[in-house]
Structure 1
Amino acid sequence: MSTVRILHAIRSDGFAGVEQLVLRLAIAQADAGSTVHVIGGDPARMARPLADAGVRHTATADRAWAVAQAIHRHAGDADIVNSHMTAADVAASVALAGLRDAPPLVSTRHFARRRGRLAALPVGRVVASRISAEIAISEAVAAAIEGPSTVVHPGVPKRDAVDHAARHRTVLVAQRLEPEKRTRMAMEVFAASGVARDGWRLMIAGEGVERLLLETTAAELGLTDVVTFLGFRTDVPNLMDAAGLLLATAEFEHFGLTVLEAMASGLPVVASDAGGHRETLSNLDPRVLFPVDDIAGAARRLRELVSDSDGRHRLGDAERRRQQSAFSLDAQREATEAVYRRSMTLPGRR
């Protein structure tokens, strides 16, 4: 598969979890010998690292038509088109429908929900005849979407081990400050755990619409002196290498890339028992996963791990081993390319 020509398409000019996944996967594919071209995503965050890896990048406006035009221009140089999210699926389907010898289209599904509607027409019906195969980023996503898919978990780069003694007494929350992430709950968990009395602090990295509300919440919970709002950070891996625990309180994660990044760092995690967290963290330690919305249960698990330094260190080491064995970039690349190979050998495909 080393000579395959891959065209990734995103209808986005931002840089969130989907764009990060595409960036990492494209670079890994190029490093393995493929010719890779990415359409869409934030040029300020993606163009330089892609160029450094020998990956071509075409910036587009956040409009499906602009993405469709770019795909139409460049699909002739591709053996496979990999679209990401519904808008890109539609753009790719339209673009490839006008080509005589179109490459197969593989859609990666990033969210645990069915496709919506385009005007009065279900989007799934629009794209179904064009898509050769679908990839789901987690079992949770595969169970929720319409039709069959192949689960290919995201991977992250291998990280060097961190000396446990170098970690600080900080609980890190790294996420968008949006309602669905339940950052207020994370603050309530921290307050209820009482770990601040042992010298632990709460660090919150991220920005969003709840920032001012959360600062008020800190005062209400008596956390003003022990919580720090770090804002948007580009050095989250460094924060993870220095922290003592990661707290992830979202009601549902389609996969949970932040948790996986913490695992790569060997940073112990306490997370909600839902969605992708179950796939990454299950059976490592009974104190890792807490029932959704259970503030008292989450606080108890946080307190127990803070009080058990040896157990905390063992958990971090076990997480890191699991990430390297089950959620590596090489594993993601190989599983993705297996889907590509099957799609390219379907009848009528080149």
Structure 2
Amino acid sequence: MGQTLADLPLRDDLRDQEPYGAPQLDVAVRLNVNENPYPPSEAVVADIARSVAEAARGLNRYPDREALELRRALATYLGHGLTANNVWAANGSNEVMLQILQAFGGPGRVAMSFEPTYSMYPEYARDTNTTWLTVPRSDDFTIDPERAVREIVHHKPSVVFLASPNNPTGTSLPLEVIERICAVAPGMVVVDEAYAEFRREGTPSALTLLPSYPRLVVTRTMSKAFALAGGRLGYLAADPAVVDALRIVRLPYHLSAVSQAVALAALRHADELLARVDELRARRDQTVSWLRGLGLEAIDSDANFVLFGRFEDRHAVWKGLLDRGVLIRETGPDGWLRVSIGTFEEMTAFRAALREVLAL
């Protein structure tokens, strides 16, 4: 009989831990991990294939470990006067944030965020032996700036994580709140803008604050709006000194030649890949209105998902939807569920299944 985890000299803080991951189930309608439901067009696929084939001819050599061409392209996409020196890329924004804590967290240091928020943040902290602290959000899932300032002044965190739009609630942060936090934070302030392209009209990006706050970091991903979740490409914008700090802790050649080629090809087709964003935003807002029409609570969202509830037994509702071939996410505060925004057909199936589950 083989050994188990209990037989291994595992770190004590990793015992009884479960690997992160949303259910990957083979069902007709998957609306649980905030993917873009529209795959790349054949033209994009063909360009990616050509780019990968070209990269494959040099796979006997290591890739550009600085990914300079990709960083230049990402800087051009972001605008705001950014250059390659301001941008860093890695295998998803997950690796970007892990690198941030490798560089600025660690034993004896504190990372802080405001719950409910992205469930991976405490795992990054755990993996880097960084103390993890959270401050509750207000009842409407916003951040009270006065309380945030008090807690930051008291705990002196080395890193503050601010998700905007926030996962799982979809709420964005006013720039004034971010500025209040930047003004008192003794370390790094990371604004996670993974869903930035889905924000409602007029909602500003923290990118505009970068010139004023040298310890501010804005992270992004190509997984969501770019429909490139399988490509695993995340990136950040920050002061060049911050990029230099991450270069110290990154693994050698951490971004493969294939990953760089795929991301560059996707950026060449940015307009096409982002063309469905307006449609998804409109469907998101329609979903909020529809859920409220059922008598449920639904949070105004700047992302490609909606948090809704409240249910006495949310697991029963989740399971009822799954039994009808619709997979959503059981996450966030107790009593709430999160649905990603899918195609018209997928959302129609979600509506029909939810009505059945709620016996409406």
TM-score, normalized by the shorter chain, greater than 0.5: no
- TM-score range (shorter-chain normalised) is 0.3 to 0.5
* TM-score, L = length of structure 2: 0.33
Q: Of the two structures, which has the highest relative contact order with CA contacts closer than 8 Å and spacing of 6 or more?
A: 2
